[in-house]
Amino acid sequence: MKFNLDSLVLEYNKLEEELANPEVFKDQKKVKEVAMKKKQLEESVWLYKEYKKINEALNEAVEMINSSDLEMRELALMQKEESEIKIADLEEKLKFALLPSDPNDEKNIIVEIRAWTWWEEAALFAWELARAYLSFADELWFKVEIDEQSDADSGGVKEMIFEVKWEWAYSKFKYEAGTHRVQRIPETENKWRVHTSAITVAVLPEVDEVDIEIRSEDIEMSFCRASWAGWQHINKTDSAVHLKHIPSWIAVFCQDGRSQHKNREKAFQILRSKLYAFEEEKRLKEIWDTRLAQVGSWDRSEKIRTYNFPQDRVTDHRIGQNFSWIPIIMSWKLWPIIDALAVADQTEQLEKASRGS
C-alpha cells in the first residue's frame, strides 16, 4: 500500500474515547478542540478504511490469478482491474483529505463590505456585491442577518455588515476577503468615460467566548439612540451600542437589534471575531504562510479581483483567471470563481507538501 495511516485511525479512536469520557465535558474549550479534531479526521479515516479494504480485495485477486480454474482467473483479472482503478481514485482523494484543514472552515461568519475609492460609484457597487453575496448565501440555504447598514446619499451603501450562519459558511466566503475593483461607466457620467472604483470586503469567522477572552477593563462602552429609518420603536431609547477595545483600538457599533441587550450581545460577538482575525493575521505574518488565500503583501489595499463591465470580464488576480457573464455573477452565480479558487488553493498546498517531503 502507498498509504499507511494506522496511526491516524488510532488517533481518531482515542479522540472518540475522550469524547465518551464525562470528565472531558468539565472543560468546554477542551470538548470543542477534541470534537473539531475528530471531525477534521473523519474523512481521512473513512477513506483510509476503504483504501485498506480495496487493497485486501486486490491481494485476493492477485492470488487467484494463478488458479487452474479458467472462470476463476477471469473473475480475478476483473477484480484486479476494478480494484486498481478504485485504489488510484482513493489515493488521489486521500492526498487532498490529508492536507491541513483550515480550522475556521466550518464556522459562521461576519462579512463587512465598505466603499473605498471613488465614493459614489463605490457605494453603488458595494450594494450590488452585497446583494450578490446575500443571493449566493440564500442559494446555499444559509441564514443571513444584517447587523449594520449605512446608506449613501446618492444610492448604494457606504458600509454593510451581515452574519452568515450555517456549517461551512467560512469555507464558501473566505476567498472574498480583500479589495474588489470595478471598472465601468457610472450612471452620472455624461461623457461615457470608464471610471475605476474599489470596495473592501472582510470575512471574519465567528468565535465563541471560549476562543477569545475580553477583559472588562479593556472595554469602553457607550450607548446612543439608533438612527435607522423606520425603527421609531427603538429610537425612543438608547438601544445602539458602541464598543471600543482599548489595547487594539478596534471599535464596533451595533444598532440593529430591538433592544440594548441584543445590540450589546451582537457587538461583543463582532468584537470577538475582529480580535480573533487581528491575532490570526499577526500569527500568519510571523510565519509567512504562503497559502493562496493569503498571497500578497498583506496590504489590505491590494486588489484581489477586477470587475470590468465594458468587457464583461471578471478577473481574479490571485489565480490569473477570467470569468464572463457579469450580470449573472452579480445576481448570485459566484460558484465558478469560488470553486476555481478552492481548487487552486488545494493544488498549491499539495505541491507545497510534495516539495516538503
pLDDT at residue 190 in the model? 64
Higher pLDDT, 64 or 29: 64
pLDDT at residue 148 in the model? 84
CATH 3.30.70.1660 fits 109-210+297-349, yes or no: yes
pLDDT at residue 294 in the model? 39
pLDDT at residue 234 in the model? 44
- Of the spans 56-70, 122-136, 208-222, which averages the highest pLDDT? 122-136
- For the chain, which residues make up each domain, given as ranges? 6-97, 109-210+297-349, 216-283
Question: How many percent of the chain have pLDDT more than 70?
Answer: 85
pLDDT at residue 226 in the model? 66
CATH topology of 109-210+297-349 equal to that of 216-283? Answer: no
Choose among 70, 273, 259, 293: nearest CA to 177.
Answer: 293
Higher pLDDT, 185 or 208: 185
pLDDT band at 332 (very low <50, low <70, confident <90, very high): confident
CB 171 within 8 A of CB 102: yes
Count CA atoms within 13 Å of residue 231 on its CB side.
16
Q: Is 96 left (phi over 0), alpha (psi -120 to 50) or beta?
A: alpha
CATH of domain 216-283: 3.30.160.20
pLDDT band at 289 (very low <50, low <70, confident <90, very high): very low
pLDDT in tens, 227-281: 654 444 445 566 788 888 888 888 888 876 667 888 888 888 888 888 877 776 6
pLDDT in tens, 42-93: 989 999 999 999 999 999 999 888 877 888 888 999 999 999 999 999 998 8
CB 16 within 8 A of CB 34: no
pLDDT exceeds cutoff 50 at 288: no
Q: Report which residue type is found at 257.
A: G
Say how far apart CA 64 and CA 225 lie, in whole Å.
81
Cell of 244: 471600543
Say how far apart CA 52 and CA 62 lie, in whole Å.
15
Mean pLDDT of 137-162: 90
Q: Tell me the C-alpha to C-alpha distance, in Å, between residue 240 and each of 86, 152, 350, 357.
A: 59, 20, 47, 54
pLDDT at residue 175 in the model? 93
CB 15 within 8 A of CB 30: no
Cell of 64: 487467484
pLDDT at residue 296 in the model? 41
Instruction: Tell me which of 26-35, 105-114, 159-168, 194-203 is least confident.
Output: 26-35
pLDDT at residue 71 in the model? 86
